[in-house]
Amino acid sequence: MDLRNIAIIAHVDHGKTTLVDKLLQQSGAFRENQRVAERVMDSNDLEKERGITILAKATSVVWNDTRINIVDTPGHADFGGEVERILSMVDGVIVLVDAAEGPMPQTKFVVGKALKIGLKPIVAINKVDRPDARITEVVNDVFDLFAALDANDDQLDFPILYGSGKNGWMANSPEGSPSDGMTALFELVLKHVPPPTVEEGAFRMLGTLLEANPYLGRMITGRVYSGSIRPNQAVKVLDNSGKLIETGRVSKILAFRGIERTPIDVAEAGDIVALAGLSKFNVADTVCDPQVTEALHAQPIDPPTLSMTFLINDSPLAGTEGDKVTSRVIRDRLFKEAEGNVALKITESPGTDAYVVSGRGELQLAILIETMRREGFEVGVSRPRVVFQTDEATGERLEPIEEVVIDVDEEHSGVVVQKMSERKADMMEMRPSGGNRQRLVFHAPTRGLIGYQGELMTDTKGTAIMNRLFHSYAPWKGEIAGRRNGVLLSTDAGEAVAYAMWNLEDRGPMMIEPGWKVYQGMIIGEHTRDNDLEVNVLKGKKLTNIRAAGKDEAVRLTPPIRMTLEKALAYIEEDELVEVTPKSIRLRKVKLDPNERKRAERAKEAV
């Protein structure tokens, strides 16, 4: 059977996963009466809850006797590592662009990677039925983007389709209708994307996606570059440098057929399949015939820009809500995550039970923490820090700079520019983007953007859209002011009392509710001033046997600040931690004892 391998790449929310739904439906991958969830490729719980794609996944459809393997990719810059490595599996890409928003930072990032390895793109202008669609300008923007990314003449001569993934149609002109279906896209893929190039020689396959299957053990998905493979065949695994990792036999070969994976008897060169039976295989390793000596080349991955320290939970409430609390269990889980996620890097902190986890952004690290807490882990997590580099020639300290694109209503653009300049950002561009909105483009240090998302939403009444993408390393830009307010700390352990909290309301907003367990050194609220204040939230009302003349008013408390995981990570300072358990997210000081905190502060001042 004829084969085509394609990936769908785009910015977040431009409709990749919805488009894959329609391709599967219209190719007959589902039965007429089959009930299918919306965005069927977003299979794990966090993807369904957040409505985003986190992991790249493969599927396949059959159209006119040709099998088309399709890889759905994440759109968030934080998960760019997923996109970078799957591009080596495919021979063509569909670049999906929103008809109103146009090409965004992540579009630029993934298209740049695809053009660099010589893939010829198909551009699909999606959501043409939006009232604010500006189709002609967007097509021109895409061409300018390709030219700026040094596309060759073949790549610049890209075919364009117009349509609405949600309504299930793509056509050669914006005047199409749902009755056209996806035929134009299928036919263009068969015509424009070349069949996979098959190399001569024995079996070789490059692994790109790793997962743990409860029945089959470790499974690796990748593209077969040469030869063929059958179940129970002897193979060996080579790392990037050609060093032997292990030898073994393939127990099962699974091919992607619609949303199912079906066992097959033989996998031919050019196909994308999943293999089971090997135990030490990692991403970017080569599975090959025992006689092969040279490993396949894997695409290099961009380095991480943010790091966080994961510690064992040593608070007084440790072990009361989770069952995975020891440093050994946490270590095993983190290293297992790093095997499958090439954009993460784990290093052990010498002399302590702490692990430094480096990744692409706050969202990527927050997703890892959220996944761990759902598995029953308890951990303490530090504030995100940027990963600095040193210029080898001058010895100068370099920090990561991000390209930030903010779409905002004109009335709020002034406050956004002011806040970004406070964060040492340089404005690169300011232009109208239609509908009384402006597009602001900044180059800002990653340090200054930690925790800015929430503040931006407050400043713009929830109307701004911010997109970020790693741009380059540049010389350190100097100190950036952190949080302006201090915090309220509990002086003792116990359960918070409503009467005490009511009396403390003028000190600042609370982050806890009555009846919640607190301990010494735990952050229970935000102070209205810039210093930290220790308060007692356990003090109940003194009762006497004398009846009061006036009746007591019922205690009415102001609703507390709800701390989500992302909000908590952005809120804390260097001397604070987020305690994450399956049931709670608490904020605390690293040193719970006030005397130890004072000693540490004096030592810091002396230095």
The secondary structure element, H or E, covering residue 524 is strand 522-526
State yes or no: 128 annotated in a binding site: yes
Q: How far is CA 268 from CA 42, 68, 85, 271, 466, in A?
A: 28, 15, 21, 6, 44
Residue 375 buriedness (CB in 10 A; 0-12 / 13-18 / 19+): exposed
The secondary structure element, H or E, covering residue 120 is strand 120-126
Asked whether the beta carbons of 436 and 413 are under 8 A apart, the reply is: no
Residue 274 buriedness (CB in 10 A; 0-12 / 13-18 / 19+): buried
The secondary structure element, H or E, covering residue 413 is helix 413-422
Neighbours of 558 (CB within 10 A): 10
Asked whether the beta carbons of 187 and 159 are under 8 A apart, the reply is: no
The secondary structure element, H or E, covering residue 287 is strand 286-288
3-state DSSP call for residue 481?
coil
Asked whether the beta carbons of 295 and 238 are under 8 A apart, the reply is: yes
Question: Measured in whole angstroms, how far is the alpha carbon of residue 290 from the centre of its chain?
Answer: 37
Asked whether the beta carbons of 279 and 212 are under 8 A apart, the reply is: no
Of 127, 144, 137, nearest in space to 10 by CA: 127
Asked whether the beta carbons of 12 and 52 are under 8 A apart, the reply is: yes
Asked whether the beta carbons of 244 and 237 are under 8 A apart, the reply is: yes
State yes or no: 243 annotated in a binding site: no
Start-to-end CA span in the chain (Å): 71
CA 603/CA 163 separation, integer angstroms: 64
Tokens 């040492």 locate to 424
Question: Measured in whole angstroms, how far is the alpha carbon of residue 197 from the centre of its chain?
Answer: 32
CA 509/CA 517 separation, integer angstroms: 18
3-state DSSP call for residue 371?
helix
State yes or no: 116 annotated in a binding site: no
Pairing of strands 2-10, 66-72: parallel
| Dihedral pair phi/psi, residue 501, rounded to 5° | -65, -35
State yes or no: 2 annotated in a binding site: no
The residues, any chain, with a CB within 8 Å of residue 481's CB and separated by 6 or more, are 422
State yes or no: 73 annotated in a binding site: no
The secondary structure element, H or E, covering residue 366 is helix 362-374
State yes or no: 126 annotated in a binding site: yes
Asked whether the beta carbons of 117 and 83 are under 8 A apart, the reply is: no
State yes or no: 236 annotated in a binding site: no
State yes or no: 127 annotated in a binding site: yes
Asked whether the beta carbons of 76 and 46 are under 8 A apart, the reply is: no
Asked whether the beta carbons of 519 and 316 are under 8 A apart, the reply is: yes
Q: How far is CA 211 from CA 76, 215, 273, 288, in A?
A: 21, 12, 13, 19
State yes or no: 528 annotated in a binding site: no
Can you say whether residue 376 is alpha, beta or left, with left for phi > 0 and alpha for psi between -120 and 50 degrees?
A: left
The residues, any chain, with a CB within 8 Å of residue 486's CB and separated by 6 or more, are 526, 527, 529, 530, 531, 532, 533
State yes or no: 347 annotated in a binding site: no
Amino acid at position 298, single letter: A
- Show binding-site residues: 13-18, 126-129
- Show binding-site residues for GTP: 13-18, 126-129
